Structure 1
Amino acid sequence: MSAEMLGPEARAARDLIVEAVRIRSLSGEEQQVATFLTGWMSSHGFKARIDEAGNAVGERGDGPLTVALLGHMDTVPGDLPVFVDEAGVLHGRGSVDAKGPLCAFMSAVAALPEEALRSARFVVIGATEEEAPSSRGARHIRTVLQPDLVLIGEPSSWTGLTLGYKGRLVARVTVIKDNFHTAGEGTSAADDLAEAWFRVRAWAASRIDASGVFDAVQATIQGLDASTDGVQQHARATLGFRLPPALSPAEAETEILSLLGDLPGLSVVFTGHEIAVRYPKDNVLTRAMRVAIRSQGGTPVFKVKTGTSDMNVVAEHWPVPTLAYGPGDSGLDHTPEERLDLQEYGRSVAVLTDALTRLALSAPGN
């Protein structure tokens, strides 16, 4: 559908996502897009501000029920051409992950009827540094907001409801050994590092769960390097782990250290401790979203994902009904083919507007 055929609200929602994607916003460099997003919210009925963590925050409504809609406005690197093709598909970095979901949140809250705004308070957050290990924006907002319901802005397709994400742990492994002639006996620092990886890989494989990959341990090499200065050999690897709900990062750390403790000259530094989370299928939030998806002609589909998101960051601080939702194919995240069908984006806005209205009007006291 062309922009000329859209109504004012739909046209505003479309213009919002196109312009947001045009603004480059790598992790740590979100100020320009935050200024744009808060400006848009201010002109569409929100009380908007940029907070101490650089988050773009907008609020509408003053009812007793607080709904947090936590998206993120940073992207991974990749200067992709930004354009809308003849089929109405928006191409560009961040269109899927995750400016599409965030802009859908903003557009839906902007479209809410007055009766919903009298019954609930809606807080939209465009968080900083979600794509970085720091998760700066989510870590800040979780300390200053206590919502009753939480939507996380991540691509799930317009009919998808994401209930959980795996946990994460990163291990930076270093082996340092005195240099020696390669014709001599013994192992090099690189040999010992390879042995460490073989042990870790076997450990991860031993924890395969029959119920599927979400409940298994996944291990990958994210970086690898070896060098010598003529006196010492240095071998370094960054290992990434995706963890199931049954294994906490602390437990994984203990098990990995026990595997590698006999390797001389080896040290490990752990970062990225994110606990896996999985929410139940049936609660007030999932019920409202299912009804709204069906009202738009879709069939709701529950999902869990093997990655991580800001859901992991806020889960322990916000023990309330939570799910992730947003337009887009998550298989296109971080790829050169990242693109978002604007018709699907519009359906997501309609679903969210419907669901948020239902939640507000069904809140206690109404």
Structure 2
Amino acid sequence: MFEGLSFLQELLKTRSYTGSEGPIGQRVVQEMKLLGFDHAYLDESGNAIGVVRGKACGEALLLISHLDHVHEGDVDLWEHPPYAAVLEKNVLHGRGTVDIKGPLSAQIYALGGLLQRGERPAKDVVLAAFVEEETGGKGIAEFLSRMPFTLPDGEVLKLTGAVVGEPSSNQVMLGHRGVAHVTLVFKGAAHHASFGLHDQNPMFELAEFLGRLRQYDLPVHPIVGEHTLTPTQISCDSGSENVTSNTVSLVLDWRSTSTPEEMRQILKTLTAGLKVEYQVFELWTLKNTPGFHIEADHPLVQNLQQHVKSIHDGFGIWNFATDGRYTHAHNIPTVGFGPGNPRLAHTVHEHIHLEELQQHVEVLQKFLLDLQ
């Protein structure tokens, strides 16, 4: 049985939409204090920070989680009420069970369990549950902008590695692609639909582009895999069914490791000869953030994998973005490892198995005791 069950259920019953994480942040800090963390506090951004000193002090591992979650959507589509934290046959149901209150609770209780047994990790551990992860990572961005990491008593710790606790079914994750959103505006000339002037109708420009996109071979990264360029939304400026549009806009969701210039070259090829305008934003805007990746033979990965291999022999990658992109950009070696099925995140079927939570606690504890 997962020892942090009651605490997790309390978190699940507390809505913590992005921008409203204050109460849950305070509750997380309270639990860390009760479990004997050496430091536990809310920083100036509202991030919940906990520190457990290790046998060797000065260098620290950062455990990454967050406090916010997405909206539950139509509650009628849920088998169980999304905020009731229903436990059924050792399966806990509800919004946030995998993204990310289940993983957060497992991280907290892994450290708390060590302290209750009179043990300490091999080196310092900083557990950070960040705000506003779901909308781009404001919490971790502000946290890293204040580096070096300084304890409340003024001591400085050097962050030498990071483990992102997003759900991975307890598999070691080597990273994920970056995410960008690009809007293409196809140009035409509005006219009465009865004239059938196809050369002035931007819908046909759009259709030509989509045909090219479907046939285009996107790059494949050796670690995080195939890039994707996916149409998600279409809108036009016509308000009538019998009038064509002057413009048709298409939103593309782009998951890749490409630089903005490489993305522009791809779009230049795909839009050659078409009447269209677009803008590829530079990195680290809300429209374009990079991913991260780490080599499988990196010491941090190997150190973690030796304790995980009895569960998962191979490595994985996430399809979605995480706060790991920020630590990677700050030259902090970053790897992923968290309980819960990542395919359940943001869905009305979100749930987590207690056995998987306890499995994560036990593996994480062994890893922390053996930190290199």
Q: Say whether 1:338 aligns with 2:353.
A: no
Q: Is the 8 A contact 1:162 1:304 kept in 2?
A: yes
State the match for 1:7 in structure 2.
none
> Any idea what SS the aligned residue of 2:120 has?
helix
| Structure having the larger proportion of residues in helix | 1
The code of the aligned residue for 2:21 comes to E
Supply the distance in 2 between the matched residues of 1:93 and 1:175 (Cα, whole angstroms). Answer: 39
| Distance (Å, rounded) in 1 between the aligned partners of 2:265 and 2:6 | 50
Contact 2:188/2:200 (<8 A) preserved: no
**Mind listing any 5+ residue stretches in structure 1 that lack a counterpart?**
2-9
With normalisation by structure 2, the TM-score equals 0.81
Q: How far 1:329 sits from its partner (Å)? A: 0.9
Aligned with 2:99: secondary structure?
Answer: coil
Cα displacement string for residues 266-318 of structure 1 (whole angstroms, at most 9, x for unaligned residues): 33354532334321223443333234336xx6344311223221122321213
Contact 1:162–1:325 (8 Å) recurs in 2: yes
* Matched positions, count: 340
2:192 aligns with: 181
Name the counterpart of 2:52: 60
> Alpha-carbon deviation of 1:325?
0.7
Q: CA deviation at 1:70?
A: 0.8
User: 1:235 maps to what in 2?
Assistant: 248
Other-structure match for 1:120: 123
Residues 73 and 179 (structure 1 numbering): CA distance in 2 closer, same or farther, change over 3 Å?
Answer: same
**In structure 2, what is the equivalent of residue 220 of structure 1?**
230
Q: Helix, strand or coil: the match of 2:159?
A: coil
Q: Counterpart of 1:147 in 2: which secondary structure?
A: strand
Q: Verify: 1:69 aligned to 2:73, yes or no.
A: no
1:39 maps to amino acid: Q
Instruction: Note the C-alpha offset of 1:91.
Output: 0.5
- After superposition, give the CA deviation of every residue in 1:45-70 in whole Å (9 maximum; x if it has no partner): 23222223332111121612201001
Is 2:302 the counterpart of 1:280?
Answer: no
In structure 2, what residue type is equivalent to 1:277?
F
What are the within-5 Å matches in structure 2 for residues 112-191 of structure 1? 112-113=114-115, 116=120, 120-132=123-135, 134-143=136-145, 144=147, 145=149, 146-158=158-170, 160-175=171-186, 177-182=188-193, 183-185=195-197, 186-191=199-204
Contact conserved, 1:142 with 1:318, CA < 8 A, in 2? Answer: no
Contact 1:249 1:275 in 2 (8 A): no
Residue 108 of structure 1: which of 107, 110, 115 is its match? 110
From 88, 93, 96, the equivalent of 2:95 is 93
Aligned to 2:152: none
The one-letter code of the counterpart of 2:304 is: M
> Partner amino acid for 1:220?
T
Q: What letter matches 1:330 in structure 2? A: P
Q: Which residue of 1 aligns with 2:322?
A: 309
* Sequence identity (%): 26
Counterpart residue identity of residue 306, structure 1: N
Q: Which moved more, 1:41-50 or 1:89-98?
A: 41-50
Give me the whole-angstrom Cα distance separating, in 2, the residues matched to 1:54 and 1:326.
23
Q: TM-score, structure 1 length as denominator? A: 0.83
| Equivalent position SS for 2:246 | strand
Cα distance per residue 1:236-285 (max 9 Å; x no partner): 22110111x4x334421342145336433533354532334321223443
Letter in 2 for 1:55: N
